[in-house]
Structure 1
Amino acid sequence: MGAQDTQDTAVRLRAITGELSDRFHERDDVVRTLVVTLLSGQHSLLLGPPGTAKSELARELTGRVGGASYWEILLSKFTAPTRMFGPIDVAALARGEYRQVYDGRATTAHIAFIDEIFKCSTAALNETLGYLNERIYHPENGGEPIRCPLIGAITASNELPGGEDSAAIYDRLLVRIEVGYLNDPVNFAALIRSAVTSTPRRPPRTTVELTALQQAVTQDVPAVQVPDTLVDAVCTLRSALRRKEIVASDRRWRQAVRLLQASAYLDGRTSVGAQDLPVLTHVLWNSPAERPTVEREVLHLVSPDAKEALDLADLLDELEVQLDSMSGQSREALSTWVIKNAHHKLATAGKRLEELRSEAVRTGRSTATVDRVTSRQHAVRARVLTEALGLDTSMVTTGSGPAASAW
């Protein structure tokens, strides 16, 4: 595959990322991280409550790889290994032959989606670990191990692992992405409207061929350069996290380098840059409570505007907590709170976020964090307008009218 073909693969993957981000509200970072993880040949975990489109997103992404063998399963404590890796061939058994049927199972899949991954049965645990870690399966009859063509698995769970068995699987999932319910009332309104649309819009559907993806995973991504400045940054980050008592294994750090290379490749760059470091926020925490600390330490290395944006996010969180605490109070009390407190803080935060984004664009830094916090500012502002002031949601949606201009 030539340089032009390599570039075309990256362009197609960027198009897929954009199309899925347009379809799934508030999932830009989730989508990009899943694509980067697949490009790095690693496994990901979507962690969040039911009804957050984890399964739909995984299916839509994996369905964009033309020619790939896809396998999906919903695990339970009673799932037998043969259901995952290949059932017994009953006809062969009647002839006195013990044989498994592998077609359509994990054993032959290029891409897998495993839902409720931490409910893996004890009987299937060792084979699942071998499958994820080494891409091998040991047949039930004790024959030679089977090499599986798995590029990467997307897994999902509504909760963290609760025992030693599931914790072993958790450790094999390099990338862990939290997925929550929609925050922005405007996005929620769009979701509701989509459920009652009589003629659904046909969105663009870019695909990438399996051979092109395999070429990217095995050759193009590993060829992306990692300069010494980035090695130094990763070493600095490790030390900073250790001071915060957040420790990741050497294996996890080493595997994370390929993620950085995949991030640069997806953007069409031949060398890893500081703008690729934010993907590590999904790698270096063990519990969700550690994620904000990891994110701050990562962004401290990336850019000052991203760090300041997170400080503004804290302010937005405080405003939302205050709004929640005022539930049931009179409209007059809520209006007074808006005038004396919320309005000025939201307006100031919005203006500052615009300035931070302009500065990031001017200097060539990533705007991902600033954009995410800006979306958060819009969501909190919408809540204040609708819940505290009682304004029509359509005024928030269109961004028109005196209320919108004042914010």
Structure 2
Amino acid sequence: MPHNASAPHSTWAPALAELERGLLQRDVAARALLLAALAGEHVLLLGPPGTAKSELARRLQRLLPGAHYFERLLTRFTVPEELFGPLSLRALEDDRYERLTEGYLPSAEVAFLDEVFKANSAILNTLLGLLHERQFDNGSQRLPVPLVCLVGASNEQPQDESLLAFHDRFLLRVPVQPVDDAHFAALLQTSVASAAAPPADALIDRPRLDALREQAAHITLGDTVLGLLLQARQHATRTGQSVSDRRWRQLVELLKLQAASRNATEVSEWDLWLLPFVLAAEPAHGPGWTDFFMHHVAQTAPLPLDGLERAVTAFEQQLDIERRAPADAQDDSAGKVALAKSIAGPAAGESEMVRITSERAQRRYSPVHLAARVAQTDELLARLQALHVELVTMAHSVLGAARAHDWLPPSWLAQIESVHLGRCTGVASLLAQLQTTREGFAGLPVDETKVDRPAPVTWQDA
């Protein structure tokens, strides 16, 4: 069942491939950014400098034909003129307070603001309306802006409560970290090609975008997804996370658009991989939401296999005890072994005489004893075989759905595959281990005259 995933199979695959080209471990950020742009939402990338945050924003702009791009690094000394344009001197002569916005944020379709939470309140207040309402107050006029997606970047979460409203304007909040050790060698050997025109099939023109959004309006949720969203709300309550009604509605609209982009008619439970990036108000909450998805949708919750492992070990230990048990006291086989070794001499090694005599020195068991041991072992084998069939069936079902989903990040798919394939392999190994033990019990020396029945093998079950 191993599988290597890459870009979605949908018509949006070329656009995603262009965003990811040459970038390592950016599958989540690239997918979140593209979906946000398709939905007309904004993205916050949280992580240290040098992690391709601005590069992703620039690539997004190149995917939108004719789109203008704006980029600024914000500090507490940044003034409104740097973002919204200088005052018009001609307008001032006519007693009008207007800005020349051409080439600045109000005229951009894609914008990147680095250290976005370091701006002063005058700038943040203006940004609030611009992000949410897509309106810019220019003097006495309130003008629409063409903004498709604003990408904010920051090294840390906002600490000041006054910034929380601005932070909430970013529907998707995605942690971005440096590549890990496993990908470090690839990082050093991978070149990021210079800016070039994207292929035609990667471009996102306005009619295509409008058609997708119109299609999304007709997508339904379905009972399964509604149930999972109810459980998600309960999870938020249990963990003390506040999620506004507006954010729940925005999440649903984003899920519908993702489903529409896959040409589906209903939101899939697999579309919920976005939960951590919409509902986690801070990075510390992200792993809990990831686990929620992994356990409820990808079926990766830990299984109580420890008891079965202890049982297999208990049977192995019992077989070892019974193999090592000496013959009964009235049997002189032990003396015969010593005599055989003496006759063979030290240079003769393990002669056939010694081997045969040693086997006869083992304790012999009644047919009833062997049958009882084999029967109990068969009971455990049946449990393991049933579990193995169940796990293989689950793995085929889960991995089939996961691999077919157009947007599930490959890094997430790899984790899901690892869990399911690991479970199947682990139980198969226990089966083989126990089968060998069963054969060992069946092969113990037999004394047809005995009728003893052994006490069952016991273990501490989970």
Q: Same fold (TM over 0.5)?
A: yes
Deviation of 1:22 (Å): 4.0
- The answer to whether the Cα contact below 8 Å between 1:224 and 1:271 also exists between their aligned partners in 2 is yes
Q: Could you say if the C-alpha distance between residues 363 and 179 of structure 1 is closer, same or farther in structure 2, counting changes exceeding 3 Å?
A: closer
Task: Indicate the RMSD between aligned Cα atoms, in angstroms.
Answer: 3.2
The amino acid that maps onto 1:50 is: P
- The answer to whether the Cα contact below 8 Å between 1:117 and 1:156 also exists between their aligned partners in 2 is yes
2:141 is paired with a residue whose SS is: coil
- The answer to whether the Cα contact below 8 Å between 2:213 and 2:257 also exists between their aligned partners in 1 is no
Deviation of 1:267 (Å): 2.6
Deviation of 1:221 (Å): 2.6
Q: Could you say if the C-alpha distance between residues 65 and 375 of structure 1 is closer, same or farther in structure 2, counting changes exceeding 3 Å?
A: farther
Q: Show the counterpart of 2:276.
A: 281
Q: Could you say if the C-alpha distance between residues 233 and 102 of structure 1 is closer, same or farther in structure 2, counting changes exceeding 3 Å?
A: same
* Separation (CA, whole Å) in 2 of partners of 1:260 and 1:299: 17
| Aligned: 1:301 with 2:322 | no
User: Where do residues 290-369 of structure 1 align in structure 2 (5 Å cutoff)?
Assistant: 290-305=285-300, 307=301, 359-363=397-401, 366=405, 368=409
- Deviations 1:8-39, CA, capped at 9 Å, x for gaps: xx954221112333421111121111111112
* Separation (CA, whole Å) in 2 of partners of 1:125 and 1:155: 12
Q: Could you say if the C-alpha distance between residues 226 and 119 of structure 1 is closer, same or farther in structure 2, counting changes exceeding 3 Å?
A: same
* Separation (CA, whole Å) in 1 of partners of 2:79 and 2:198: 39
| Aligned: 1:122 with 2:144 | no
Q: Could you say if the C-alpha distance between residues 358 and 17 of structure 1 is closer, same or farther in structure 2, counting changes exceeding 3 Å?
A: farther
- The answer to whether the Cα contact below 8 Å between 2:270 and 2:402 also exists between their aligned partners in 1 is no
Deviation of 1:161 (Å): 0.9
* Separation (CA, whole Å) in 2 of partners of 1:88 and 1:100: 4
* Separation (CA, whole Å) in 2 of partners of 1:203 and 1:209: 13
The amino acid that maps onto 2:190 is: S
- Deviations 1:309-336, CA, capped at 9 Å, x for gaps: 9xxxxxxxxxxxxxxxxxxxxxxxxxxx
1:169 is paired with a residue whose SS is: helix
| Aligned: 1:148 with 2:186 | no
Q: Show the counterpart of 1:405.
A: none
Deviation of 1:354 (Å): 11
* Separation (CA, whole Å) in 2 of partners of 1:67 and 1:28: 26
The amino acid that maps onto 1:181 is: P
User: Where do residues 120-199 of structure 1 align in structure 2 (5 Å cutoff)?
Assistant: 120-139=119-138, 141=139, 143-185=140-182, 187-194=183-190
- The answer to whether the Cα contact below 8 Å between 1:68 and 1:210 also exists between their aligned partners in 2 is no
2:241 is paired with a residue whose SS is: coil
The amino acid that maps onto 1:74 is: L
User: Where do residues 8-407 of structure 1 align in structure 2 (5 Å cutoff)?
Assistant: 11-90=10-89, 93=92, 98-139=97-138, 141=139, 143-185=140-182, 187-194=183-190, 205=199, 206-216=201-211, 218-305=213-300, 307=301, 359-363=397-401, 366=405, 368=409, 370-373=412-415
Q: Could you say if the C-alpha distance between residues 361 and 372 of structure 1 is closer, same or farther in structure 2, counting changes exceeding 3 Å?
A: closer
**Structure 1 length as normaliser, TM-score?**
0.69
* Separation (CA, whole Å) in 2 of partners of 1:87 and 1:101: 6
The amino acid that maps onto 1:281 is: P
- The answer to whether the Cα contact below 8 Å between 1:136 and 1:146 also exists between their aligned partners in 2 is yes
Worse overlay, 34-43 or 365-374: 365-374
Q: Could you say if the C-alpha distance between residues 153 and 372 of structure 1 is closer, same or farther in structure 2, counting changes exceeding 3 Å?
A: farther
The amino acid that maps onto 2:254 is: L
Q: Which stretches of structure 1, 4 residues or longer, exceed 6 Å deviation after superposition?
A: 199-204, 353-357, 374-377
Q: Could you say if the C-alpha distance between residues 67 and 209 of structure 1 is closer, same or farther in structure 2, counting changes exceeding 3 Å?
A: farther
* Separation (CA, whole Å) in 2 of partners of 1:179 and 1:194: 19
Q: Larger radius of gyration, structure 1 or 2?
A: 2
* Separation (CA, whole Å) in 1 of partners of 2:395 and 2:80: 50
**Structure 2 length as normaliser, TM-score?**
0.62
Deviation of 1:275 (Å): 0.8
Q: Could you say if the C-alpha distance between residues 355 and 24 of structure 1 is closer, same or farther in structure 2, counting changes exceeding 3 Å?
A: farther
Deviation of 1:136 (Å): 1.3
Deviation of 1:371 (Å): 3.0
Aligned pairs, number: 319
- The answer to whether the Cα contact below 8 Å between 1:66 and 1:207 also exists between their aligned partners in 2 is no
Q: Show the counterpart of 1:314.
A: none
